[in-house]
Structure formats: structure tokens, C-alpha cells
Amino acid sequence: MSGAVRPPQEVVLGLDVGTTAAKAVAFGVGSFWRHGESVEYPLLEPSPGWQVQDPDQLVGAAHEALARCVAACRGAQVVAVSLSTAMHGLIGLDAGLRPLTPLLTWADARATEQARALRESGQATGLHQRTGTPVHSMTPLTKLMWLAEHEPALCADVRWWVDLKAYLVASLTGQLVTELSSASASGLMDTATRTWSPPAVALTGASIDQLPPILPTTTALDLTRAVAERTGLPLATPVVVGAADGPLGNLGVDALEPGVVGLSLGTSGAVRMMVRQPPAHLDESLFCYALTEDAWAVGGAVSNGGIVVRWVGSALAPDLTGVPGGPTADEQVLELAAAVPPGSDGLLMVPYLLAERAPLWDPTLTGAYLGLRREHTRGHLVRAAVEGVSLQLATIVDRIDRVEPVASVRATGGALRSALWRQVLAATLDRPLHSVGAAEGSALGAAALGLYALGRAPSLGAAVDLLAAPGRGAAELVEVDTSMVDVYARSRAALPLVVDSLERVAALLRTGSGAVGAGAAAAVLPADLSSRRG
């Protein structure tokens, strides 16, 4: 909680249901007061590559977080509840809106082969341009294709295919609808018409009448009596359907204008810039998701963010367990990296530990350390991990720069608490980087969108200003050592060739297990390498 101890006269609630927790945050309208409650839940892996959750457990956590937050705001008027949810989820419901499947989350990679088939057939490019969503195993489009192939009896029983937002809205209002932002991240919506795309839906075996109506993100619906009684909210409280967590993150860090990039870096990472309308031609490495009808986020997301350094620490430094009252295990691991010079003495990591998204959107690519020598220590391997993630994010920024020149970056996320992360990221991006202390992230964006939807603010930016703490605009500019910029510029220039070579190696390894014949090697290795075999 920040600001005054007692809640102000009016609050707006941002409810953010993400991959690991439901967070309800109350923001004082014009008072900078806030109070947050969080309820966690597990991400389950019933089979390798599957990442699912219990939809009712998520909804129950959301209602519980909401009830706790309402109780802390007793005496204040709740002007609205506005929603944010994680993108790319898929749930099958029966006619009574009961789940027949778990929530297949964005991280679920079971549809890797379906995504590859669309790329190899040449259909992926047209789908990407039509829907704004790269073809990838994360999308509901490819998940539906997988289910149609592997679970036809289940699919026959499904009346509705919905995203997480639709299921949350139904739990609060009794109405089965989704909104423009979440729909635009499904791979099933035409960005030009703002309606479900018949060609995309036809690929899945589903039908358009199995998908919920798409509403504007500023739509307000009525709370049900049962939820009002359960949470302590007044029955008349509007529920603003809100948007997806990614675009709302840009709103939360005040990265709303073309040329200003919003960057988030936690377990995973994302880079986005807002534009007025979807680009006429979308770079193959970028997505385009809606915030509102005239605000669209162009960018890319990486599955491998801070989780890469966490993995390196657990694999190479299990002895660093943290000190009570002192540095945590993560901080101790990063201290090892801070003692290593920029460039990690020639060691480079391609950090594809999880099925990667941007910039290549190829979940089959695996990670690698390159340039490894005997003199490299675990500190080198940790620093190379930090640098590898930063290089991936910088590559996305470079692609966004082709849409609109990137003048500055506003960054937030747990990784940015580390001075090393900030320094490496700023030097790798080679653009002014402002560290923004917006811990509420998407919840703040949702609350601001709620105020804007109710006409309480003339613009999205003005809505954020009504909720943000004083001095929010004066984000910390990260100072950069120019010598670091030069080192990372060389790595950035080499990265496309490195990744291309890894793609060829991955293709070589996919030809079969055990020894690989000379003919197969010649087919995938560059001519200058395949000619030097033996």
C-alpha cells in the first residue's frame, strides 16, 4: 500500500489474472493511494510441453483477490472493476459454460507440429498478415488444430471455445463475451474487420458460432448478484471488460506514443510500441494486438527472460542459496556475472531454453553456448545469459524501429531491480532506457482503461495520471558506458548469422537419432562448412 493509510473517497479496481497469480489492486482516483491483494495458483505440466491450469481455480483466485481488496477499501466507493488477463489461452466449454478442457496457456507447446506445418505450407505468412498474430504453438489457432487432430470426440462435445478473458467475464457478469484485445491475440481475428476470420477459423475444424462475440475493450457490463454478495461489491458496480495484459502493460508504464517502446522483463519478456492502426504490412517477426480501436501494440515477446538466469544459477551455482537479511540467491548469482567483463570474454549464449517466440517464432530451436573455453567460469556463463536475453530484446526493438523510429524505451519488471540487468540492457539497446517503477503493471493499465471507459478521463494517458504516484513521469535514466555499447553492437551484428547457423544444426539433428549421414549433413550445412567435413 502507498499513500494515505485510509482509502480515499473513490477507488477503481484493476483485476489482473496472469500465469501464476490473480492480482486485485485498488487505485485511489486522484489520490495516489493503492492497495493490492494477490492469490497464486500452479501451472501444471501433465505431459512434456503441456502447460495447463484449472479454469475454475483461476476464477476462484480472482474472486478471492477481489474480495480481499474490496474489504481493504471499506468506506470508499468502487467506481469500477476493470479486467486484465494473460493472452493466448484456450478453454472448451459445454452449453452450460462448464469447462471440458483445462486452460491451455500461452506456454503450452503441444501444437508445435501444427505451427510448423502452417509455415512449411506457406499459409503462415497470410495468416500473420490477416490476424496480426505470428503462427506459433502459443496461439489458440494452432491449439484448436491440435485438438481437432488428437481429441475429435472431445471437440464434438464443445459448444464454446473461449479465452481466459471470456471465462473470467462470464464468471463476473454471466455473459459469455470476449473483447478486441484478447481476440486480436488469438490468431483467429481479422485485424481489418475486427471480426473472427473465416479462413483462419476454417483451419481449426471449429466454427465461428462456437466463438464468443467480440466487444470493444471499453465495454462495461453488470455484475451478477451472486458475485456482488461473494466479494462485497455493490450490485451496481460496472465491470469493464478491459484488455489483454500485454497492451495494458504499455499503458501502465506510459508508453503510449509512437517512438516510445514499453519493455517488460520478468520471467519472460516483451517489447511493444503503440500505433494508431495495424501496419499495412507487418514485419514477419512482430505481432500486432489491440488495446482499443485506435491504439495497437506492435512488438514481440520472448519466453526466455529472467528465467534463463534463474536456470543458470540453479544448474551452475546451487551452493548460492541466499543470505538471511542479505543478498538473495539471484542477487548472488548476478554478482558473479558483474565481475566478468562485457562480452563475457568471447562467450555467447543463445537463450532458447523454452520454446521461443520473437523474433523467429520457431519453437523447435534450442539454446546454445558458443565460444566456450576452459578459462570461462560460471560467472562468464551467467553474464552470457544476461547478455543473450538482452540481445534478443534488442533484436525486437530493431524490428520495431522499422515501423516507427524508436526514440526511447520505458522498462519495468523484476529483472530491472538488478543494476547489471539495467546496464547490459541499456548498452545492448543503444537507446535511452528509462527504468519505470510501475510494479502494478497491467493492473494499473486495466484500472486506467476502466476510468477512460466510464468517461472519467479524456484520454488513456490522462486516466493513468489520475492513478499514478507523484514523480511517475521522472523515470530513472540508465547511464551507459559507451565501451559496452561498442562490445554489444558487434554481438548484435553477428547474431543473425549465429542463429541461422543454429537453425541449420537443429535441422541436422532432426534428421534422426544417432549418426547422421554425409548426404544429410551436406543438405543442411553451409557450403563452406559441409565441404570441410572429415
Nearest Cα residue to 489 out of 420, 399, 394: 394
| Angle at 283 (CA atoms; ends 281, 287), nearest 5 degrees | 100
The pTM of this model reads 0.90
- The C-alpha cell of 513 is what? 537419432
Beta strands in 18-67 (DSSP E): 21-28, 34-40, 52-53
Which range (5-9, 12-16, 199-203, 259-263) has the least confidence? 5-9
Give pLDDT, residue 266. Answer: 87
Q: Helix or strand or coil: residue 38?
A: strand
Beta pairing class for 238-244 and 195-196:
unpaired
d(CA 489, CA 341): 15
Q: What mean pLDDT is reported for the chain?
A: 91
DSSP string for 60-93: HHHHHHHHHHHHHTTTSEEEEEEEEE-SS-BEEE
**Measuring CA to CA, how many Å separate 223 from each of 128, 229, 266?**
36, 10, 33
The fraction of the chain above a pLDDT of 70, given in percent, is: 93
Nearest Cα residue to 203 out of 148, 164, 152: 148
Give pLDDT, residue 500. Answer: 84
Contacts (Cβ under 8 Å, ≥6 apart) of 84: 14, 15, 16, 17, 242, 243, 244, 245, 248, 442, 443, 445, 446
b/e map of 405-424 (b: 16 or more CB within 10 Å)? ebebbbbbbebbebebbbbb
d(CA 286, CA 308): 22
Contacts (Cβ under 8 Å, ≥6 apart) of 297: 246, 247, 250, 272, 273, 274, 287, 288, 289, 290, 291
DSSP 371: S
Which range (28-32, 293-297, 402-406) has the least confidence? 28-32
Nearest Cα residue to 272 out of 253, 290, 246, 293: 246
Residue type, 176: L
What is the pLDDT averaged over residues 495-511?
81
Which range (58-72, 136-150, 254-268, 378-392) has the least confidence? 254-268
Band (6; pLDDT cuts 50, 70, 90): confident
Band (502; pLDDT cuts 50, 70, 90): confident
Give the residue, 216 or 442, on which the prediction is more confident: 216
Kindly list the structural domains of the chain, giving each domain's residue range(s) and its CATH number in brackets, ordered by start: 10-251+440-467 (3.30.420.40), 306-429+481-493 (3.30.420.40)
Give pLDDT, residue 516. Answer: 46
d(CA 355, CA 506): 13
The fraction of the chain above a pLDDT of 90, given in percent, is: 79
- The C-alpha cell of 243 is what? 484488455
Q: How far apart are the first and last CA of the chain?
A: 66
